[in-house]
Amino acid sequence: MGPTGSSSARPTAAFFDLDKTIIAKSSTFAFSREFQAGGLISRGAVLRSAYAQFVYMVGGADHDQMEKMRQMMSQLCTGWDVQTVTDIVADTLHNIVDPLVYDEAVSLIEEHHAAGRDVIIVSTSGAEMVEPIGAMLGADHVVATRMEVSPEGKYTGKIRFYAYAENKAKAVRDLARKRGYDLDGSYAYSDSVTDVTMLEAVGHPFAVNPDKELRKVAKEKGWPVLVFERPVALGSRVKLPPAKPTLAALAIAGAAGIGAAVWVNARKAKRAHSA
C-alpha cells in the first residue's frame, strides 16, 4: 500500500522515524567505537554506565525509566568537546551512514515527494547528525534531539529538546500548525511502540518492521504493516554531498545508540528465553 495523491487543498506530509525504519540498523551505535577510540568514552565507562543501566532497565520502557536513561546519557557526555566530536564524525560519517538504507524507504520518500508531500524525519538521535542524513535523503525537515553547548564549545549535559514518545507527536502537531499540514491526509512510519502517539497524530499510520508491542497495537487499530528487507548502499540511490557536519547534538545520539543496541539484544534474549 503506497502513498496516493491528496485532494485536500491543504498540504500534507510524510513523517518517518529513522532507525530501523529508513536505516536498517541504529544510526548512532556505530559511532560509539569512534568515540571510544577518540578518548570520549572509556571502555569501563561504556560497560558501567551505559550497558549496565540499559540491561537493568530492559524489562520495560515507561516514562520514569526513560527519564533515568535521559539523565544517564546527559551525564555521560557532559564536558565533551564539540570540536572533538565534530572531527570524529566528519571523518567517519560516510562510512557509517552510507552503507545501509532500506530501498523500500527511499522509494516511499520518492513517491511522497512525487505526490507533492513534504518528507520529515523524526528521530530521537541528535539533530546535528540527523540533519545531514536528512539532506542525503532529500528530506524537507528534521525533528530530533537537541543538546545545549556552552560558550566554550563543550556539552553542558542539558538537553534542550528530547525527541522521544509524546515529544515527537507534539513536534509533528506543532510543525503541522506552522506549515499548515492537513494531518488527516498525512502519513507516518515507525518500527517502535514508543512512536504510537506520533502514528496516531496522522490519518495514515504505518508500522514498519514493527516490534512486538507495535505489531499488537497495529493489529488492534487496523494499521497496515510494512516489511522492509532490502537494504542498499545509500550512495546507490541518492547523491551524497560532502560530509561537513557540525554535530552539536551527536553526543546524546552516541550514548543513546549504545543503550539502544544493548536494549535490542537484551529484548531478543528475553524473548528467546520466554519462547
Question: Does residue 210 sit within a domain?
Answer: yes
Average pLDDT over every residue of 51-56: 40
Does position 110 have pLDDT exceeding 90, yes or no?
Answer: yes
Does position 39 have pLDDT exceeding 70, yes or no?
Answer: yes
Mean pLDDT of the chain: 77
CATH code at position 148:
3.40.50.1000
Question: Does residue 5 sit within a domain?
Answer: no
Domain that holds residue 94: 13-274
**Residue 145 DSSP label:** E
Q: How do residues 144-169 score in pLDDT, each as one tens digit?
A: 988 899 999 998 988 899 998 999 99
CA distance from start to end of the chain? 32
Question: Does residue 165 sit within a domain?
Answer: yes
Question: Does residue 1 sit within a domain?
Answer: no
pTM: 0.78
Question: Higher model confidence: residue 56 or residue 223?
Answer: 223
Does position 27 have pLDDT exceeding 70, yes or no?
Answer: no
Instruction: Indicate which residue of 19, 118, 191, 195 is catalytic.
Output: 19
Q: Which pLDDT band, with edges at 50, 70 and 90, does 238 fall under?
A: low
How many angstroms separate the CA atoms of 194 and 191, rounded?
9
Does position 270 have pLDDT exceeding 80, yes or no?
Answer: no
Question: Does residue 3 sit within a domain?
Answer: no
Count of domains for the chain: 1
Average pLDDT over every residue of 217-244: 78
Question: Does residue 7 sit within a domain?
Answer: no
pLDDT of res. 76: 74
| Range list of β-strands (E), 173-264 | 187-190, 204-208, 225-226, 231-232
pLDDT of res. 228: 94
pLDDT of res. 256: 47
Does position 189 have pLDDT exceeding 90, yes or no?
Answer: yes
Query: Catalytic residue at 19?
Result: yes
Question: Does residue 125 sit within a domain?
Answer: yes
pLDDT of res. 167: 96
Question: Does residue 100 sit within a domain?
Answer: yes
**Dihedral of CA 114/228/221/164: which sign?**
negative
3-state secondary structure of 148: strand
Q: Are 51 and 255 in contact (CB under 8 A)?
A: no
Does position 199 have pLDDT exceeding 90, yes or no?
Answer: yes
Which residue is associated with the grid cell 526513560?
66
Q: Which pLDDT band, with edges at 50, 70 and 90, does 266 fall under?
A: very low
Average pLDDT over every residue of 222-247: 70
Query: Catalytic residue at 17?
Result: yes
pLDDT of res. 17: 95
Q: Which pLDDT band, with edges at 50, 70 and 90, does 8 fall under?
A: low
Instruction: Indicate which residue of 17, 118, 191, 195 is catalytic.
Output: 17
pLDDT of res. 37: 76
Q: What angle do CA 87, 20, 18 make, to 5 degrees?
A: 55
Does position 43 have pLDDT exceeding 60, yes or no?
Answer: yes
